[in-house]
Amino acid sequence: MKIGIDKIGFYVPSYYMDMRELATYRGIDPNKWTIGIGQEKMAVAPLTSDVVAMAANAAASILTPEDKASIDQVIVGTESGVDFSKSIATFVHEMLGIQPFAKAFEIKQACYGATAGLQMACDYVRLRPERKVLVIATDIARYGLNTGGEATQGAGAVAMLVSAMPRILAIDEKSYMHTNHQFDFWRPNHSEYALVDGQFSTKLYQDEFVTILEEATRHHPTLLDSLEAIVFHLPFTKMGRKALLAYEASGAPESHLSRWLSHYDQASYLNRMVGNIYTGSMFLSLLSLLAMDDSLQEGQRLGLFSYGSGAVAELIIGQLQPGFAAMIDKAAILAHLERREALTVERYETVFLSKVCEEDTPYQALESGYYLKKVVNHQRIYDYQQ
């Protein structure tokens, strides 16, 4: 029986920073960020769009009352949790009205967490094909103002409903994975911002990609021939291209590269407009490919390359299902991006530095949807604005 992604939705906060404007302000050639890094816009999260609110909004965009009655698990992948103990998933379970006899929990392994969640969800549904699992990736990528990583920040959430007989992407049981204990990017408990060895991290990412593809080929010599496109974890949109070039340098067939590169711009468009959303980044790239690439056909097979610093990488294989295109609302996706308000650098810095505080005065919602209303007695309280 086929198991996989039946629905996929996303949410980005209502603010963005234009990368050219920010680069100019920082005294950097804008081409370095738009061409060298490959980013146009960076999503900026106001306090009201924290990781919980973003997760709830992404999931609310895809779920029907019937879905909510058949979801047995809410799994959230994140590295921006709001609590060391209580999971984001428990908030979202309540906010969305998922049936109560379900479990809800959070997974952490840098940007890889939601991929582990997706695989757990598939395994669960394989044994119980009448049930569903909600998997959400939600994160705010923060390196700090005027830092080396600033151009690779972002914020957003992607939600996926995993079911039997999925209407978008059936996921193969077999995947290819690799763990390699390293300090390329990490965030100690005391630190508000990620610590990163930037150049080492990009090298390690490329090495992991090549290692996984070589391992996959060893097990299944014709696997890569069968992949029409590969979607990548994209901390910035140049990263996947760098990985493909590293694979080429390792002796990859030219035919694979030209085929995969022919889909690359479409598969990175949304990421270019949003920035790094950590756990959701690869799934945003998948959504981007599905929405922007008119050449995709039912039955084609895709590779999904997930990378989480520290480091864990996995190549998942999926197959596009009959009618998949009808499950993706391209106009709504683009309208969701277009609704955003551009910030000046001054406002971006103010929003970036603002901190949630305990106060009686509730925050005002900036738009319709779920938002953080207030924090009382160290408890986050959310509301829904019509």
CA 255 to chain centre: 28
CA 17 to chain centre: 19
Build a one-symbol-per-residue string for 233-272: x at contacts with ligand HMG by CB under 6 A, - elsewhere.
x-xx-xx---------------------------------
Using CB under 6 A as the binding rule, whether residue 305 contacts ligand HMG is answered as: no
State the DSSP string of 21-53: HHHHHHT--HHIIIIII--SEEEE--TTS-HHH
Among residues 76 and 328, whose Cβ is nearest to ligand HMG? Answer: 76
CB 139 within 8 A of CB 80: yes
Burial zone of 378 (CB within 10 Å; 0-12 exposed, 13-18 middle, 19+ buried): exposed
Residues 6+ apart with CB under 8 A from 31: none
Q: What is the CB-side half-sphere exposure of residue 372 using CA atoms within 13 A?
A: 25
| 106, 228, 233, 336: the active-site residue | 233
58-97 residues near ligand HMG, rule: CB under 6 A: 79
Residues 6+ apart with CB under 8 A from 23: 29, 30, 32, 33, 34, 151
Pick one of 149, 275, 280, 303: the residue that binds ligand HMG (CB under 6 A).
Answer: 149
Which residue stretch of 18-26, 30-38, 320-328, 344-352 sits at the interface with ligand HMG (rule: CB under 6 A)? Answer: 30-38
Build a one-symbol-per-residue string for 216-235: x at contacts with ligand HMG by CB under 6 A, - elsewhere.
-----------------x-x
Where is 6: in which H helix or E strand? strand 3-11
| 79, 106, 150, 228: the active-site residue | 79
Pick one of 29, 123, 298, 341: the residue that binds ligand HMG (CB under 6 A).
Answer: 29
Q: Give catalytic residue positions.
A: 79, 111, 233
Residues near ligand HMG, by CB under 6 A? 29, 31-32, 35-37, 79, 110-111, 148-149, 151-152, 184-185, 196, 198-199, 201-202, 205, 233, 235-236, 238-239, 276, 278, 307-309
